[in-house]
């Protein structure tokens, strides 16, 4: 009878779960390694770029003059002066871009989510926003040159730079607004309508305030992106080595233009100014990114 029991314990067929063959195992390991390596390949240039900027740009920005003086009247080899004219220009141009782009961008977002959902115009607009996202920055500079400077006859100024950044900024604001409006709970809208509140007031007083923190975050991130744009500034802006407080008139420097100007300066001072400007630009962009994160953490939509 012992044989019967052993028969019972022996499976009729081979084991259902067979070990994974060596070839498959090796393939799997190779794939895993390659995929992880790909990520490292992306990290290396990021660290390398940031390291180069810090290594070469930290020393110039440590002097107090860097933040309080312009390069007015300094010769190419004078290792003094600072970038405050360019920092001012960068910030002011970015802010005027924000002032112009936010109303338009938010209204387009409102249209796409609250009014146009599903209509043909809305679909076409969404497509065009995608196209606008892909418009090269140099083309936006050329467009502003063609319309604002060549046809309307205005001069090169900080404001013209803002106008060309506007084209790059608007799609960012639209995307963010759209995304944020979509996650506003519908119950809020319905509750408001049920109280007899008109649609426009519902949007202005209920929907937009709920989505506000997200929109602000998106705007800050977008600003951080457009601040470093150089191409449009080369076409419609003009570098000035002294401070110009008026964004609407005359040459106004910004950090990318300063870098471009000093890149051609072969002296040590030029090297320091270029990399110092790069470092300042990275710092300002980091500051804007940080602010964006803080704002979104402090006031996220509670579900």
Partner 1 sequence: MSDSTLADRSASAQETPRRARVSHGTLEPSRGGAASSPDTPEGPISTANTAQGEPASTPVRRPGDRVFRGAAVGSGAFIVVLIAAIGLFLLLQAVPALRANQVGFLTSGVWNTTDPNGLQFGILYLLWVTVATSVLALALAMPVSLGIALFLTHYAPRRLARPFAYVVDLLAAVPSIIFGLWGIKVLGPTLVPVAEWLSRNLGFVPLFAPGNVSIGGAGNVFTAGVVLAVMILPVITAVSREVFERTPKEHIEGALALGATKWEMVRTTVIPFGKAGYVSASMLGLGRALGETVALYLILSGTNAAPKLSFFDGGATIASKIALGSGEFNNELTAGAYIAAGLVLFALTFAVNALARTIVAGRKGSA
Report the alpha-carbon distance of residue 259 to residue 275 in Å, rounded: 8
**Residue choice 9, 14, 15, 17 for contact with partner 1 (CB under 8 A):** 17
Cβ contacts of 119 within 8 Å, gap of 6 or more: none
**Residue choice 54, 282, 283, 301 for contact with partner 1 (CB under 8 A):** 282
**Residue choice 62, 76, 78, 199 for contact with partner 1 (CB under 8 A):** 199
Nearest approach, Cβ of residue 291 and partner 1 (Å):
14
C-alpha Rg value of the chain to the nearest Å: 28
Nearest approach, Cβ of residue 6 and partner 1 (Å):
29
Q: How far is CA 57 from CA 99, 228, 239, 273, 274, in A?
A: 31, 16, 21, 8, 8
Report the alpha-carbon distance of residue 290 to residue 303 in Å, rounded: 24
Please give the span between the terminal C-alpha atoms of the chain, in angstroms, as a whole number: 68
**Residue choice 20, 22, 64, 298 for contact with partner 1 (CB under 8 A):** 20
CB nearer partner 1, residue 163 or residue 216: 163
Q: Residue 70: which region, alpha, beta or left (left: phi > 0; alpha: psi -120 to 50)?
A: beta
* Residue 66 sits in the site that holds partner 1 (CB under 8 A): no
Q: How many residues bind partner 1 (CB under 8 A)?
A: 93
Q: Which helix (H) or strand (E) holds 101?
A: helix 84-110
* Residue 35 sits in the site that holds partner 1 (CB under 8 A): yes
**Residue choice 54, 74, 91, 132 for contact with partner 1 (CB under 8 A):** 132
* Residue 270 sits in the site that holds partner 1 (CB under 8 A): no
Report the alpha-carbon distance of residue 303 to residue 297 in Å, rounded: 14
> CB–CB of 247/90 below 8 Å?
no
Stretch of residues binding partner 1 (CB under 8 A), selected from 45-53, 58-66, 70-78, 81-89: 45-53
User: What DSSP character marks residue 77?
Assistant: T
Which residues 87-106 are close enough to bind partner 1 by CB under 8 A? 104
Q: What are phi and psi of 246, to 5 degrees?
A: -90, 115
**Residue choice 92, 184, 203, 220 for contact with partner 1 (CB under 8 A):** 203
Report the alpha-carbon distance of residue 263 to residue 300 in Å, rounded: 43
CB nearer partner 1, residue 139 or residue 301: 139
Nearest approach, Cβ of residue 16 and partner 1 (Å):
10
Please give the angle made by the CA atoms of 134, 139 and 143, to the nearest 5 degrees: 120
**Residue choice 58, 135, 290, 300 for contact with partner 1 (CB under 8 A):** 135
CB nearer partner 1, residue 68 or residue 266: 266
CB nearer partner 1, residue 1 or residue 20: 20
* Residue 153 sits in the site that holds partner 1 (CB under 8 A): no
Which residues 205-244 are close enough to bind partner 1 by CB under 8 A? 224-225, 227-231, 234-235
Q: Residue 176: which region, alpha, beta or left (left: phi > 0; alpha: psi -120 to 50)?
A: alpha
* Residue 256 sits in the site that holds partner 1 (CB under 8 A): yes
**What does the per-residue mask of binding to partner 1 show for 111-130, with x meaning CB under 8 A?**
xx-xxx----xx-xx-xxxx
Q: Which helix (H) or strand (E) holds 109?
A: helix 84-110
Nearest approach, Cβ of residue 196 and partner 1 (Å):
4
């Amino acid at each position: 009878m012992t044989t019967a029991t052993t028969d019972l314990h022996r499976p009729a067929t081979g084991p259902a779960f067979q070990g994974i063959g060596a070839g498959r195992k090796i393939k799997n390991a190779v794939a895993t390694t390659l995929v992880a390596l790909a990520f490292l390949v992306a990290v290396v240039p990021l660290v390398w770029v940031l390291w180069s900027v810090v290594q070469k740009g930290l020393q110039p920005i440590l002097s107090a003059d860097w933040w309080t003086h312009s390069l007015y009247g300094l010769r190419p080899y004078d290792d003094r002066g600072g970038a405050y004219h360019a920092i001012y220009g960068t910030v002011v141009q970015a802010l005027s871009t924000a002032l112009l782009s936010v109303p338009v961008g938010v209204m387009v977002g409102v249209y796409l989510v609250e009014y146009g959902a599903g209509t043909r115009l809305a679909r076409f607009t969404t497509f065009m926003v995608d196209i606008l996202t892909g418009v090269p920055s140099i083309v936006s500079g050329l467009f502003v040159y063609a319309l604002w400077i060549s046809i309307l006859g205005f001069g090169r100024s900080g404001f013209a730079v803002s106008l060309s950044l506007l084209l790059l900024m608007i799609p960012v604001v639209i995307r963010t607004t759209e995304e944020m409006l979509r996650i506003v709970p519908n119950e809020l809208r319905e509750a408001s309508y049920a109280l007899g509140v008109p649609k426009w007031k519902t949007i202005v007083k209920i929907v937009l305030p709920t989505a506000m923190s997200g929109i602000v975050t998106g705007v800050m991130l977008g600003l951080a992106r457009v601040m470093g744009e150089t191409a449009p500034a080369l076409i419609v802006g003009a570098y000035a080595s002294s401070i110009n407080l008026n964004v609407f008139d005359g040459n106004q420097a910004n950090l990318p233009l300063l870098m471009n100007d000093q890149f051609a300066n072969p002296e040590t001072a030029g090297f320091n100014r270029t990399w110092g400007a790069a470092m300042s630009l990275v710092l300002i962009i980091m500051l804007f990114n940080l602010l964006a994160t803080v704002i979104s953490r402090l006031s996220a939509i509670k579900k």
